[in-house]
Every structure is written in C-alpha cells, then in structure tokens.
A and B are shown apart, each in its own frame.
Chain A
Amino acid sequence: MKNLKVKTQNLVKLLDALKDASNLLAPQTDKYGDTYFQQVVDASQVVLKHFKPLMPAVREVLFGQLEDMITFKDTASGTKIKPVKAAKDTILFGLPNCDLDGILYNDEFFAKREFADFYYVNARKKLTIITLACLTPPNENCFCASMGHGPFAEKGFDLQLTDMGDGFFLVNIGSKKGQKIVDDNSSLFEAAGEADLSKWKELKQQAEESTTKKDVNKKKALDNMGRTPLKEQMIIEISDRCISCGACNYTCPTCTCFNVIDHKKDKAGTRKRVLDSCILGGYFRMAGGHNPKEAKEDRTRNRYFCKLLWDKEKLGDSGCVGCGRCLDACPVKVDIKDVIKQLSN
C-alpha cells in the first residue's frame, strides 16, 4: 500500500475535479441539518468529517431501496421489453468502513456466486469508493472493531482518507482505480513521511480501541449461535418486544432481500425491485394464504440466524459488520450487540 497525503483545501479541489468527471456522491448537510449522500454540485459543501449515514451507502448506488428493472409497453405486435438504462460512472466519497464492508458482503452475495445479479454487477463495475476512516465512533451503537470490520479499512477501497488533524488527510491507495485518481490529479498530493505514517498507525489503534466492546467475542458468539440453547430464549424475548416494522432490515448494510413489483399505466409500465424485510408479517406468505413463518418469533429467528449463522455458512462470514444501525433505527431498542454479547460467554 503506497501512502500519500493531501491538504484539506486540495481535497476540496480534488472533489471539484471529480464531480466534473463523474457522478460524485458525498455527505452533505441539508438546510434542516440532516447529513446524507447527495450529488455534489459545490465541492466546498462536502462534509469532511467521518460520519455514519442512517441509510447504508450500498443503498445509494448498488442495491437501492427502489430500482427499475425493466420497462415494458404493449404494442400491436406484443409487449416490448427494455432493460433500464446502464448505470453511470459514480464515485462514492466519505463512506465509513462499515459501509465498505457492507458493499464487499453484497459483492459476495450478488456478484461472486452462481447467477450473478445483472443490475448489481453492472452498477458495481462503474463504482469508485473513497472511504473516510472513523477516528472515533460516530455514535454509541458502533462496535465494528469487535466484529472485525474497522473502523479503518484494510481492503476493498479505491482510496481511503484519514483526517490527521493537522490540515492534512493521509491517503491510502487500494486499487488501480484509486491510483488513477491520484495520477490524474498528482499536483494535489504530496508524499507522506515516516512521521505521518506512525501518527496514522497511532490514530488507527486509538480508533480500534474506541470501537471495540470488551464483552463481545465474535468467534465465540458465532460458534455459540450454532449450538447453544440460550439463543431460543433470546429469540423469544426479542420477538416479544419487536413491533415488526422492518427498520432493522432496511438500514442493515448486508440485508439483501427484495420484492418485485409492476407499475403499469395505460399501455406502458415498469418492473421495479424494492427492498424487503423478513420481519414483516407477509414476507413469507404465498398466494393462497399459506405462511410458513406466520409467527413473529419464526421471523425473528430468521433474521438473527440469517445474520449470525447462515451467512457464515453460505458466504464465509457473518453479515453483521457491527455498524449498529439496526439499533439506531429500532423503535423498541432491540440491540444486536446485546445478543452477540450474551452469546460471547
């Protein structure tokens, strides 16, 4: 990994150049004070402090809450079907590492297994990722380091930036795409010295310590998910509190389930896919009314086992990246960290 640094005002210049060459999405604060990914028009408005958006970054470009699949039109010679327009080159700037790891999980799920997903793969090929390392946890629910996912990225980014606190950002180059951005704008960057690097390592270590929960043991918890009888009691307790709103699924960077819906007006329409949630009552229901997971408890079991056991069996690692968004969003404060904590013994 080659390391460079960039002055804050040069970073703004870089974003300005990137926004002209590509579709640049970066965190910006709207007039109501909410910060989220928006298309960049004025690079000086981009928030350069690490942050955790409530909606994970994967929803912005790769696997949206609602995306078009095909359009169709009735004609005299039958229905004409057209795939949606190809994805455009996009740069996602300023995402935290939990979101990057969420995207890497989605890569495994949608792109690297049998039947690669057409929509995902094509959008992913056009995506460049510039992460911003978290120096401190964005909020108290973060526990990414305990799950082996951060807060600094180890792999998968094109560029990673770290705010060094002295008017500079350290730049890690993670790919050819990242290298190209640096090469194309080489006058904005300068070499990082030994002192920069040792300071960076210190910041990294501090950040890891601040997002590690001492009472969470990932390996033990995942092993226990497969065998301990304790989990049944936990599932029942969670299910008693759960109001089946689905917020945990919608905000999870590694939830991949979707529904497909058709919208048609007169003779033309669109088939779309929409994010779905296994916690919702009708999720498993079939035509005719039979519902194999009618009980809330069964759906709760599905969510926790999927995240903490089946993902690992299928894709090699648990889907939980420790971002804590399910707790951020949960109206009744169901805490997945607490579940993992209990399973850690």
Chain B
Amino acid sequence: MKKLTLKDSEYEIKKGKILRVRKMTAIETFFEIALPGGESLDHEPGQFVEVSLFGVGEAPISVTSSPTKRGSFELAVRNVGKVTGALHKLKEGDEVGIRGPFGKGFPVRIFEGNDLLCVAGGLGIVPLRSLINYVIDNRRDFGKVEILLGCKTPKDMLFNEEVDEWNKRLDVKLNCTVDKADPDWKGNVGLITSLIPGINLKPERTFAVVVGPPIMYKFVIKELLKKEIPERHILVSLERHMKCGLGKCGHCQINNFYCCQDGPVFSYDKIKNIPEAL
C-alpha cells in the first residue's frame, strides 16, 4: 500500500469559479464553470462531476457541455434538493467545489462510423447535449444522427436556441414532442414513444442513446426493440444517489454494479435482467 496524499486522491476538491449563470426555466438553471488556471475538466460525454457547497453538501451533476468546448464546462441543474437548492442561489463569480469527472460516459469510439438515435425525455437532454455537441463537432466521424426530444409542456423545453440550431442543420434530424401543447406550439403532441415507429433506421448500424425520467425507459426501449435494434446497441444513462463517485459509498448500487463507476451509462443487455435498474 502506497501512502496517498489528498491531492493525489479522488477526494481532492478543486475550486470552480462560476463564469455565467442563466435561468432556463422556473426550476432549472444553467452554470458555466472554470477550473483554476483554466485547467481542462477532460471529461467524456455523459460523465458527471461532484459539486460541493461547503456546509451544505455534495451532489452528482451531469456535465452538459461537450469536451470539445475548452476552458470551461457547463452544468444544467434542476432545483430538487438541498445542494441543488443552494446552487440556485449562487451568482457569477461565486465558488463551487468540483471533483471528477467520474463514471463511464457514452462510448463515442464505438459509435464512430455508425448511425445515432438520441432519445431525450425532460432533463435527459442535459447529459445528452454533451454527446450531441460532441458528435456535431466531429460530424464526419458519425453516420446519420437523429434526435428525439420530449417534455411535458413547451415551457419546460431546455436549450431552446441550441435545439433550433440543431434543427437548422442538414446533417441532423430533429423531432420534438410535448405531452401537453400550448397555442404557440407547432411541433408534435404526445409521448416520446409515439415518435419511434415512424423512424427509418438500419438496426445493425444504429446506436440508440436514451436518457430521461425512470418511467420513460421501459416504454422507449420496448419501441426500440420493435425496430430490431440489438440490445447492446441501446445505451441508457441512469440516475442514482452517487454520493462519492468512487465506487465506495454504496448508495448508487444497482445489484453488483456501482452506478457511479460501472455507469451511469449502461448498455441495455447488461441491466435488462435487473428488475429495479429501469
């Protein structure tokens, strides 16, 4: 056993500085954060960081920016708990503790050369945005890209301007749906599952990446399997109470997996037999 210093261990907390705060919806806020000395976070799309507020606690938050964006990274946080509630009170220039990045992100190397179908429900767009922007920035490495977005009402839609940009691109296909429309809504109405049957895809060369609320997975995966996408081509990102991020504290256990280390991204064939996973 070699002696460890806190600095060399993954318990070291770096001081992130909030460069930009933007209110996205009534309950979601966007933060742009820089590490000291412009150090790069060096994350993979789909990884998360542990955000610390001293005296309040630490919480796992998905990185929403692509690693192709250098110099700073971005988080989009819903106000649901103690730490996220306190985060929402912070201003530009304030300090937050950052550990990470942790976990297995989306396997972008395996995606290369293949078609991608991204399915995001509600807050699922937050981790998926890191992948979508990564793919757009390396567009030539990937085949067809199709994005399905769903949320409760048009008011809950996140990253509206960016989604419009994606929509304008000729090399990305995008479809949005809301559970409940308002008079200005021009897109689809209905559950996100309703968008899947109409998609034209080659199952053997398509990877489907699904991120959304727990209830969504079963129904979306059922539709994807009907499209004959192989089980190991379906990737999900699971949310758990990942307290330490190091595969130690145990709160994120999904049977013999520690979600923070073995996940949060899993291929469907790995977890399909675990009843409480999805």
Contact = CB atoms under 8 A, between A and B. Distances in A.
**Chains A and B form a bound pair:** yes
Interface of A: 69-70, 72, 74, 78-79, 81, 83, 107, 109-119, 121-122, 124-125, 256-264, 269, 271, 273, 276, 278, 283-288, 290, 292-293, 298, 302, 305-306, 309-310, 313-314
A262 B248 contact: no
14 contacts: A70-B6, A72-B54, A79-B54, A115-B10, A115-B246, A115-B247, A115-B248, A260-B244, A260-B249, A271-B54, A276-B251, A287-B82, A302-B253, A306-B253
Contact of A264 (B9, B54, B81, B249): B54
Contacts of A269: 54-55
Interface string B259-278: 00100000000000000110
Interface in B12-55: 13, 15, 54-55
Contacts of A118: 4-6, 9, 11
B186 to A, nearest CB: 31
B1 A124 contact: yes
A258 B255 contact: no
Nearest to B257: A310
A276 B250 contact: yes
Contacts of A286: 239-241
Given A79-B97, A119-B11, 9 more contacts: A72-B55, A107-B1, A116-B4, A118-B6, A258-B250, A276-B249, A284-B240, A287-B59, A288-B78
Nearest 6 Cβ contacts at the A-B interface: A287-B81, A264-B55, A257-B250, A118-B9, A310-B256, A288-B80
A292 B81 contact: no
B214 A290 contact: yes
Given A72-B55, A121-B3, A287-B81, A293 B248 contact: no
B13 A81 contact: yes
- The residue among A113, A118, A269, A306 with the most chain B CB atoms within 10 A of its own CB is A118
Nearest to A83: B6
Nearest to A107: B1
B56 interface: yes
Contacts of B81: 287-288
B57 A261 contact: yes
Contacts of B276: 292-293, 298
Contact of A260 (B55, B97, B243): B243
B95 interface: yes
B84 interface: yes
Contact of B9 (A116, A262, A298): A116
Interface in B141-161: none
Contact of B248 (A256, A284, A292, A313): A256
Contact of A110 (B84, B241, B243, B248): B248
A225 to B, nearest CB: 12
Contacts of A78: 15, 95
B58 interface: yes
B2 to A, nearest CB: 8
Nearest to B85: A287
A118 B1 CA distance: 11
Contacts of B243: 258-260
Interface string B52-69: 001111110000000000
Given A111-B1, A125-B3, A290-B214, A259 B251 contact: yes
A316 B31 CA distance: 43
